[in-house]
Structure 1
């Protein structure tokens, strides 16, 4: 089996301890359906191109340059060499700013994962000691790195024999839950309904097993493409769900019956004393 291709090579630095590491992508697009844009007239693929907004002419690659819009319609041209001269530490070093409890990480901020492995045999001892110490403390390291010419905040945590680095969304990218939930009323619950719903949940408790996950949209795309290829009719679409539940108690009890769960036994009336 070929060695995994690293997307970044550098160093993990905790205080005075430094070890060489590699980042390897933890996700893949293999197996996903990808479309090309075609010309409806001749059925041939079309290519995207950068076009000058003034002349409408295609701009060759050698004449293209990055620009920052400083004012409306006024751009600062940024040369590739100017970007390369930004010698940030995070270009080549994952310097740990601090450690956070893994249980305290807000999962909304987690974005793209990468595996972290030792760069070579000489780095393995330091790497393994750091990983094991972090695992015992149940902490993740906070750092930042430059990937694909962009600085990214990250967390690094023990994962199996290696570590897992995950890119973080910035706080400015997140929408506050208060702004979304502010119009929701404080709910009042019927204890009987909660108990019935609890029985239904208990029946469906399972383990988190991503190998069982299915991309139903991707499956439907593949089925439709396969049908078109064979000259058959496409599969029937899934009917939309019915309107909101009106009688929740009845629907919950039907769900219990469907799952083969008996409703709660009714309490026996208290015996009168003689």
Structure 2
């Protein structure tokens, strides 16, 4: 098996303590189904190209440069060499700006995970000390790094024998929950239905085990491709679910019964009073 390639090499710095580290991607899309775009007329692959808006001609890579639009049709030209001249500490150093309790981390901001490993044997001891100290205090280190020519805020935390570095979404990219939920009105939930729902939850315990997760869409794509390869008809699409919430309390009881559970005495008495009313 080929050793994973480092996406970044530099130093992890906590106060006066520093050690050489490497960032290695924790995610791969090698197993995903990938499509090529074909010409419908001859069935041959097509390729994308950058085209000049004015002339319609293809612009080769050596003639391309970045531009920042300041107004309609007005651009500030940015040469590749100018970007390379930007010298930021985060290009070569993960300098810890502070430590945050693990319990305070808002999962909405977590975007992409990486593994953080010692760069060499000489860095192993300092690396282990930083890792174990964070694990003991149950905190994550906040830092930033330049990855793929972009500055990224990151969190670093202990992960078994190593460390996990997670790229964070920018606060400006997040849509506030208040703006989405503001139309939802407070509802007083029926105690009986709440109790039955809780009993139903108790009947379906599970562990967070991603190895058991299934990408049903990817599986459907594979099944369709295999059917086409064998000259068979593609599988039938899954039926669209129907809304069945007519009497929510009855549906909850039925669901609980299917899981082998029974309402408690309190829930039964509440249901009996409702029927007699």
TM norm structure 1: 0.96
Q: CA deviation at 1:110?
A: 0.3
1:81 and 2:81 matched: yes
Within-5 A mapping of 1:72-221: 72-221=72-221
Q: CA deviation at 1:244?
A: 5.0
Within-5 A mapping of 1:186-265: 186-243=186-243, 245-265=245-265
**Aligned residue for 2:27?**
27
Structure 2: tracts of 5 or more residues without a match: 270-277
* 2-structure distance, mates of 1:129, 1:241: 53
Q: CA deviation at 1:264?
A: 2.4
1:59 and 2:59 matched: yes
* 2-structure distance, mates of 1:220, 1:2: 30
> What is the Cα-based RMSD across aligned positions, in Å?
1.2
Q: CA deviation at 1:259?
A: 1.3
Q: CA deviation at 1:262?
A: 2.3
* 2-structure distance, mates of 1:174, 1:25: 24
Q: Deviations over 1:124-159 (max 9, x none)?
A: 000000000000000000000000000000000000
Q: Secondary structure at the match of 2:183?
A: coil
Task: Name segments (4+ residues, structure 1) moved above 2 Å.
Answer: 1-4, 262-267
Q: CA deviation at 1:20?
A: 0.2
**Aligned residue for 1:5?**
5
* 2-structure distance, mates of 1:149, 1:140: 24
* 1-structure distance, mates of 2:99, 2:50: 44
* 2-structure distance, mates of 1:3, 1:43: 37
Q: Secondary structure at the match of 1:43?
A: coil
* 1-structure distance, mates of 2:69, 2:2: 44
Question: How many residues are paired up?
Answer: 268
**Aligned residue for 1:37?**
37
Structure 1: tracts of 5 or more residues without a match: 268-274
* 1-structure distance, mates of 2:88, 2:71: 27
